[in-house]
Copies of this chain bind each other. A is one copy, B any other.
Amino acid sequence: MNSLKQNNKTAISPTRKEDYPEWYQQIIKAADLAEVSPVRGCMTIKPWGYAIWENMQRVLDDKLKATGHKNIYFPLLIPASFLEKEAEQVTGFAKECAVVTHCRLVHNDEGKLVPGSPLEEPYIIRPTSETIIGEAFSRWIQSHRDLPLLVNQWANVMRWEMRTRMFLRTSEFLWQEGHTAHATANEAQTEALKIFDLYAQFAEDYMAMPVIKGEKTATERFPGAVNTYTIEAMMQDRKALQAGTSHFLGQNFAKAFNIKFLGTESREEFAYTTSWGVSTRLIGGLIMTHSDDNGLVLPPKLAPVHVVILPIMHKEEQRAEILAYCDQLAHDLRQIQYDNKRIIVEIDTRELTGGEKAWSWVKKGVPFRVEVGQKECQNNAVFVGRRDLEYKERVSQNRQEFLATIATQLDEMQEKLHKRACDFRKQHTLHIDSKADFYDFFTNTEGGFAEAHWDGNPEIEAKIKQDLNVTIRCIPSQETPQPGKCIFSDNKSPQRVIFAKSY
């Protein structure tokens, strides 16, 4: 019945151990999350992948609205001249942007479609919207009464990436970008930190993905930012994933775009701004945090389906009874609340064997699979498989008991995934106190997060990056930083920072 288990094979080949990057691609394929598109560097997000994104959006959007942010929509295109205003953004984004130069296609002599009417000024497809939003803020903000201004947009953006990987780095991606303006540096800083906390809570509570909160070094900051706050997660190959960033932009953008307001003492002042975003990259993080060699594993709070019911019918005459039992079960499950919503249930009536059906949902990461055959109908039972347990650990449960405990069981699975990821990170995070050990860790071992002292010198950062392809992921936010001695220079170090290879 289950050929996979008989052969002791995994559903995904290669395994994580055999070839992690290829395993990642195969997980996406097996769960039917997305596919590479015929457009260079872009992906098509398929229904299962998009449903996960919608779940993420709903939670984040609610949180952002609850903290006073309003959604807006700015144009996709940005006049090239806007990039000239913010010198740092130019170096950051001009190198990798899609440029619109014409507004018509015409047939050439060979009958091919080629660009027709040239535009007076080129536009770029937004790589991020600070510049065009800055222009608007300069008009919208006149007085201190117009502040704070807190807006957010859900949008597609484009950065012409050379090496792409689905969800993690694609030329086009979907995200939310928040942009705010404030009267004082302190208020803007507080806002940037508030969102930083919100992102971290979302990662921990919903994605079950532990993150380290910290500041980026000057080298790794967003172009034009005074401070970039980041949440960094460890993937199962022990590389770091930057999962979300929140930027305190000081008055840099306000000066570039002339965002001024009349203060309480009738003096004109530049506003202080922030920007922050998370993207479909989070789906990549979700995949790489929890999935195993049998496919995707979804934390229940973000799963598009919580329970899939699999009717197992060996004979035609059993059909009506089994399907009726499944319908009633689905109905009863849908009355139950989980995470302030109703439990989402699907019944898989496809004409496949029980094993084929079950494994297709294993690969899609659905938290609970419930098999229902003749025996279950007779015994008022259900045969339950939980995605984070071994396939063979399926158990028979009384139907009423299953209904009474399913919400708790979903909670338990959510917590267990979080704990497992925390344990994994802990296991692969080391204090490193000498340069030799540091080089050894990133050369001769499987690596992970190295917590080491660093004196703040960007030249050391550059050297490490060049030697080992390792960067400082963040300077962790700590209540009482412990000073020490830089392991590269012997100079004083204010606190340990996190070094890792990264996506």
Contact = CB atoms under 8 A, between A and B. Distances in A.
A103 B114 contact: no
Contacts of A115: 99, 101, 122
- Give the number of copies in the complex: 2
Interface stretch (A73-81, A310-318, A331-339): A73-81
A97 B101 contact: no
Contacts of A77: 39, 42, 98, 172
A112 interface: yes
A50 B172 CA distance: 23
A71 B97 contact: no
Interface stretch (A88-96, A390-398, A412-420, A441-449): A88-96
A458 interface: no
A122 B83 CA distance: 23
Contacts of A43: 75
Contacts of A136: 35, 37, 44
B113 A75 contact: no
A71 B50 CA distance: 7
A51 interface: yes
A114 B70 contact: no
A103 B97 contact: yes
Contacts of A83: 105, 113
A78 B79 CA distance: 21
B37 A75 contact: yes
Interface residues of A, number: 63
A390 to B, nearest CB: 31
Contacts of A44: 72-75, 136
A155 B174 CA distance: 11
B99 A105 contact: yes
A320 B412 CA distance: 46
A112 B84 contact: yes
A134 to B, nearest CB: 11
Nearest to A102: B99
A132 to B, nearest CB: 7
Interface string A106-133: 1000011111100000111100000010
Interface string A140-170: 0000000000010001101010000000000
A205 interface: no
Given A39-B77, A77-B42, A123-B39, A100 B103 contact: no
A101 B100 CA distance: 6
A38 interface: yes
Nearest to A133: B44
B50 A72 contact: yes
A396 B433 CA distance: 75
A45 interface: yes
Interface in A32-63: 35, 37-39, 42-47, 50-51, 53-54
Contact of A105 (B53, B97, B114): B97
Nearest to A70: B47
Contacts of A102: 98-99, 101, 122
Nearest to A157: B76
A216 to B, nearest CB: 25
A268 B114 CA distance: 35
Contact of A99 (B103, B112, B158): B103
A104 B97 CA distance: 5
A346 interface: no
A136 B39 CA distance: 12
Given A47-B70, A47-B71, A79 B158 contact: no
A135 interface: yes
B99 A104 contact: yes
A153 to B, nearest CB: 8
Q: Which of A35, A98, A132 has the most CB of B within 10 A?
A: A98
Contacts of A82: 38
Contacts of A106: 94
14 contacts: A38-B79, A43-B75, A44-B73, A44-B136, A47-B70, A50-B73, A75-B172, A84-B113, A95-B104, A98-B103, A99-B101, A99-B102, A99-B105, A155-B156
Interface of A: 35, 37-39, 42-47, 50-51, 53-54, 70-84, 90, 94-106, 111-116, 122-125, 132, 135-136, 151, 155-156, 158, 160, 172, 174
CB-based closest 6 A-B pairs: A47-B70, A42-B75, A99-B102, A94-B105, A45-B73, A103-B160
